[in-house]
Structure 1
Amino acid sequence: MASILSKKQKKKEKYTLKELKSLGRDLLSSRAHINNLPLLLTFVSPESPPQFVVESLLSLQSFFTPLLSQLPSTSSHPSSAKRPRSEDDDDDSSKTKKAGADDPEVIFKAWLRSKFDEFVKLLLDVLVSEQSEDTLRDIVLGTLMEFVKLLNVGRFHSSIYHRLLNAIIHSAVDIDLFLDILTSKYFKYIDVRYFTYISMEKFVKTVEASVLSADRSAIENKETENDMKDRLEVSIRKIYQVLSQIPPPEKQAEKSQHEMWSGSDGSSSEKPTDKKKKNKEQDSCLLSPTTIAKRMKLKFTKAWISFLRLPLPLDVYKEVLASIHQTVIPHLSNPAMLCDFLTKSYDIGGVVSVMALSSLFILMTEHGLEYPNFYEKLYALLVPSVFVAKHRSRFLQLLDACLKSPLLPAYLAASFAKKLSRLSLSVPPSGSLVITALIYNLLRRHSSINHLVHKEPDENANEANSGAGEHNESQPKTYKKLGIDYFNNQESDLKKTGALRSSLWEIDTLRHHYCPPVSRFVSSLETDLTNRAKTTEMKIEDFSSGSYATIFGDEIRRRVKQVPLAFYKVVPTSLFEDSDFPGWTFSIPQEEGKC
């Protein structure tokens, strides 16, 4: 006994790994060595060597694991017996508490519970410490998840798991290190995903409260406000990373997807009695795999909808819009709840509107969303930069789908056709190719605008129109003289663009385009597109992702039967002749003495 006391009086730094193992073996062997417990806890620290932390962790985990079912809840402490009795307390339970307050066994278990809580806190500190190694983090995270499984006797311990996620969200360590472990080992369990969504919703509410407090203190201290906003952005990014890594709920879940981390299927070996038995049966029913699977979509919806209400950083905003139509909308309990978020995004303009179009189109076509100014906003997105944007492929395919209905009015189809043809003059060759394909489909679908392909000026009609005066304003006016285009490219109102009075003369200029694939492809518009039986629509996806590289690749693979040859009587010394550009010279003056 004296030797044990002498060991405990040693300083923490003087212990060797062998002595630490001896302390753990003694603790597991007999309750007489219970004083080794606080000593082992001191080694679970970021400052301790990793091997000491692991050795103490394994000993403490082996000690606490068999006792978890016997430990009282955090709130049930002997001092709680002194609290005032409420009207809802039963007489029997109050007598039991008073009797148990003086029971040494009750006091001992309450002390063990306090040490267990301390152990969990120390593990969380080690987990998120920048000094910890990745291997140590993996071991610590596994230990915490074991406590999540076992502490509640067959039920998921959401409190410890919430503290675990909270420590990860607010840590200075890269969250990818933790997400790799969670994704590979734990997110496959349905109850882990279920309680992750619940925790994420709680974190979002905390961030919302922080945003409000930051807005209130904006006038008082600008530096503090900037620091707070930076911290909030970091938290928002981490919440998004967690949400994006959780496998979404499936419409038809298989048995493998109902696998649970906790044993909440009623297979626990304990047989609780009286009131506890009834409560545990209710909790087991509440958290059964089938019940969780049914409620998973609701928790998924709450977590994502609350997250999308946050002031998202621009990079996160774009990432969400780029993937929301595939990862979020199909799994929401009510996708129409996203209409406010998507319509606001669509109204912003620029790249954000382009990225929001995909999700908004799904809500309009599949979930009955009405958006009165949809085509006006879509028309405004047609600018040269959209043909070199990162997400141009998806946008151009959606543009073709939005213009597919044969019920669109002629002025709208004509405005889009004319706007696209005007853009063909200022976009790269790949953009000219996809524009030609889009106009091809528009002319085939809407026979009422086929007159735009070739429209000759009719002088007799002009004289008749001038004689009719104002009484003939409803008839489409023809050209009064050559060289006038009545299309107003700057007009945002599709009814006032004057597209029906114009022609697709821009497409005719593409016949002489410097890029051969463009000039060859324009000939596809020469077919009779009013004969729908002999023509088929072009697949926009075949052209929407084109670039200089794809055009060059197609050209070098193309077999050419005839090669144009040039014969020069005199070998040229420059790329251009001086006569081609008066006032310019393309010869390189040679210095004296050099040839």
Structure 2
Amino acid sequence: MPGSKATHLAGAKRKRESSKTGRPLTKSKTRRTSPSADGDDPQTEILQLEAQILESRRHYNNIATLLKRAQQQAEKHETAILAAVALCRVFSRLLSTGDMVKSKRMAESELVIVQWLKERHREYLDVLLDQYLRGGYAPKQSVALTLLMRMLKEESKAHKDHTLSNSPLTKLVDIILLLPEDDSTRDEFAEKYFKQFDDVRFHTFLSLKKFLDGDLEAPTKQLASSNSLSLLMSLHSVPTSQEDTQAFFTETHSKNPIPSLKVYKSHAQEAWLATLRAGLTKEQRKAVLGVFSHQIAPWFQQPELVMDFLTDSYNVGGATSLLALSGLYYLISEKNLDYPSFYLKLYSLLDDGLLHSKHRSRFFRLLDTFMSSTHLPAALVASFIKRLSRLALHGPPAGVVVVLPWIYNMFKRHPACTFMMHREIRGPDLEAQLEEEGMDDPFSMDEPDPMLTEAIESSVWELESLQSHYHPNVATLARIVSDQFTKRSYNLEDFLDHSYSALLDTELNRDLKKEPEVEFEIPKRIFTAEGTAFSPLGQLMMQVITTR
């Protein structure tokens, strides 16, 4: 065994020291074999085993004893966790002192000891990875993650040629990808290491791509994709220069683990593409689209690679299409993406659920940007104005107060559409005919092409109808189309954050100059025979009361 070989190498003087300390060592062995008989608790025994290992090579066999303690299967067995922590301190000390590093001048017996220590070290890492991290018991998983990353750091200090590609980090990431979606270990890894250190992040990008591109079964791939997405979505900032990539967890030894910012972003791009190709649920797709333009797109060296993903999401409809707008706008404005049917698709998003959607504010911000050009055809602009006016008739007040200022701004920006507000009635018999039969609105609500709806031939009678809206704020705001167009354009941001609660709070907190009148004449009693004699409802109520 390694302990006996180390004793033999020590020489005669070493043997005499061993004989002097023979009696205490015999007692310690007796305590280890039956600790409960002497009344020692497990923590004391483990600390004693650890101290003996650090004291002399003769006690290296205690490492095997601690490994057996660490492998105890009971989930809540504290002895196993204590043994694992003790082994971490032992191997950290051995790595720092160079006892686990081979050299050319070592004797054969010394090489045998180093090899034996390396095998025990690998066995220790396997216990942390396969038994602790996969076990599903949160305290053990948290301890295993901390100990594994500590070992990773100590190995980088001990070996100048150390790289993360030949470290336990690869297997650690693979295991994290296969943990349940609600497992806290993934979030702990993301918060403590993945978000904080560039070298860990750089290697994790490589591991994510390699694992997701492997031959996996459908349920396994879906689980791995979900965990990979959670890791990638935890990154809220993107480095913009090489100086932003200098936070390292491991010792670099004057060798930068990140070759360049371009390579760094390239690996991040590959990790994102592998995650998107693995398949996303509807909610995951919405989450990605919601942060794409500021959190995901800056990682991409070639944003055109996600054009299909964005256009497919844009064609889904509903809230998914609304969220895809910002990503498409980023590609159109920043990367010159050509989307010929963009306004046709944008027009189709104006449906019954738009004003009720929680993404309403985001949509109107982008819509205001898309319709800002003064070179858009008047027929196109008129279709958007008319369709939103029609939707406002049965929309919530919080949505209508966004539509009205937007329409006013469109009229100011596109004067050719103002005929929709001042449509004159001509002809001698037309006025009488309108009073008897009404008027057929030429606007076609079912026409999908905004250039063919004939909205420019119609009028915005819907806005005049809104002047009689039950909510006073909406009614007041709708009167802007009846006034002269001398006001400046509205700042749309002042209306985007309105909600039912905000409108209600405004009414409740308003200062009243006069108390509202609830009753014209306050009755002294609710039901009396004298007071209800001439009231049919009162007589009926009295009959009900008397019959009971």
2:88 maps to which of 46, 61, 81: 61
Equivalence for 1:157: 164
Contact 2:303 2:331 in 1 (8 A): yes
Contact 1:126 1:132 in 2 (8 A): no
**Deviation of the 1:259 alpha carbon:** 2.4
Of 38-47 and 356-365, more deviation after overlay is shown by 38-47
Q: Say whether residues 1:109 and 2:114 are aligned partners.
A: yes
Q: Say whether residues 1:397 and 2:365 are aligned partners.
A: yes
Equivalence for 1:204: 212
Aligned amino acid, residue 433 of structure 1:
V
- Using the size of structure 1 for normalisation, the TM-score is 0.75
Q: Say whether residues 1:371 and 2:339 are aligned partners.
A: yes
* Inter-partner Cα distance in structure 2 for 1:588 and 1:516: 38
* Inter-partner Cα distance in structure 1 for 2:262 and 2:207: 18
1:444 maps to which of 412, 429, 439: 412
Equivalence for 2:457: 501
1:592 maps to which of 537, 545, 548: 545
**Deviation of the 1:122 alpha carbon:** 0.7
Equivalence for 2:441: 485
Aligned amino acid, residue 307 of structure 1:
T
- Using the size of structure 2 for normalisation, the TM-score is 0.81
* Inter-partner Cα distance in structure 1 for 2:539 and 2:179: 66
Equivalence for 1:243: 232
Equivalence for 1:552: 504
Contact 1:179 1:242 in 2 (8 A): yes
**Deviation of the 1:342 alpha carbon:** 0.5
**Deviation of the 1:510 alpha carbon:** 0.7
In structure 1, the residue corresponding to 2:280 is in which secondary structure? coil
* Inter-partner Cα distance in structure 1 for 2:538 and 2:54: 92
Q: Deviation string for 1:24-57 (max 9, x for gaps)? A: 2222222222222211101113635654234323
Cα distance change of structure 1 residues 129 and 310 upon mapping to structure 2, 3 Å threshold:
closer
Cα distance change of structure 1 residues 242 and 334 upon mapping to structure 2, 3 Å threshold:
same
2:178 maps to which of 170, 175, 189: 170
Cα distance change of structure 1 residues 350 and 399 upon mapping to structure 2, 3 Å threshold:
same
1:52 maps to which of 79, 86, 101: 79
Equivalence for 2:152: 148
1:313 maps to which of 270, 281, 287: 281
* Inter-partner Cα distance in structure 1 for 2:126 and 2:519: 86
Equivalence for 2:495: 543
Cα distance change of structure 1 residues 556 and 174 upon mapping to structure 2, 3 Å threshold:
closer
Equivalence for 1:43: 69
Contact 1:248 1:331 in 2 (8 A): no
Cα distance change of structure 1 residues 411 and 36 upon mapping to structure 2, 3 Å threshold:
same
* Inter-partner Cα distance in structure 2 for 1:587 and 1:519: 41
**Deviation of the 1:430 alpha carbon:** 1.7
**Deviation of the 1:512 alpha carbon:** 0.9
* Inter-partner Cα distance in structure 2 for 1:447 and 1:70: 84
* Inter-partner Cα distance in structure 2 for 1:24 and 1:554: 69
Q: Say whether residues 1:24 and 2:57 are aligned partners.
A: no
Equivalence for 1:187: 195
Map 1:222-301 to 2 at 5 A.
229=219, 231-252=220-241, 254=243, 258-266=246-254, 284-285=255-256, 287=257, 291=259, 293-301=261-269
* Inter-partner Cα distance in structure 2 for 1:156 and 1:585: 90
In structure 2, the residue corresponding to 1:42 is in which secondary structure? helix
* Inter-partner Cα distance in structure 1 for 2:181 and 2:440: 65
Q: CA RMSD in A?
A: 3.7
* Inter-partner Cα distance in structure 1 for 2:426 and 2:260: 73
**Deviation of the 1:491 alpha carbon:** 0.7
Aligned amino acid, residue 59 of structure 2:
H
Contact 1:415 1:494 in 2 (8 A): yes
Contact 2:54 2:90 in 1 (8 A): yes
Aligned amino acid, residue 313 of structure 1:
T
* Inter-partner Cα distance in structure 1 for 2:155 and 2:522: 94
Equivalence for 1:89: none
* Inter-partner Cα distance in structure 2 for 1:194 and 1:53: 33
**Deviation of the 1:131 alpha carbon:** 6.3
Map 1:375-524 to 2 at 5 A.
375-459=343-427, 482-524=438-480
Cα distance change of structure 1 residues 556 and 587 upon mapping to structure 2, 3 Å threshold:
farther
Cα distance change of structure 1 residues 303 and 545 upon mapping to structure 2, 3 Å threshold:
same
* Unaligned residue ranges in structure 1 (runs of 5+): 74-95, 215-228, 267-283, 463-477, 575-583
* Inter-partner Cα distance in structure 2 for 1:432 and 1:364: 29
Q: Deviation string for 1:257-279 (max 9, x for gaps)? A: 5121112142xxxxxxxxxxxxx
**Deviation of the 1:414 alpha carbon:** 0.6
Cα distance change of structure 1 residues 174 and 513 upon mapping to structure 2, 3 Å threshold:
closer
* Inter-partner Cα distance in structure 1 for 2:464 and 2:71: 76
Cα distance change of structure 1 residues 587 and 451 upon mapping to structure 2, 3 Å threshold:
farther
Contact 2:194 2:200 in 1 (8 A): yes
Cα distance change of structure 1 residues 46 and 433 upon mapping to structure 2, 3 Å threshold:
farther
Aligned amino acid, residue 556 of structure 1:
L
**Deviation of the 1:565 alpha carbon:** 5.9
**Deviation of the 1:309 alpha carbon:** 1.8
* Inter-partner Cα distance in structure 1 for 2:221 and 2:547: 68
* Inter-partner Cα distance in structure 1 for 2:92 and 2:110: 18
* Unaligned residue ranges in structure 2 (runs of 5+): 1-21, 527-535
Cα distance change of structure 1 residues 12 and 410 upon mapping to structure 2, 3 Å threshold:
farther
Equivalence for 1:82: none
**Deviation of the 1:539 alpha carbon:** 2.2
Q: Say whether residues 1:119 and 2:124 are aligned partners.
A: yes
* Inter-partner Cα distance in structure 1 for 2:422 and 2:515: 32
Q: Deviation string for 1:206-248 (max 9, x for gaps)? A: 3xx32xx54xxxxxxxxxxxxxx3x443332211111112353
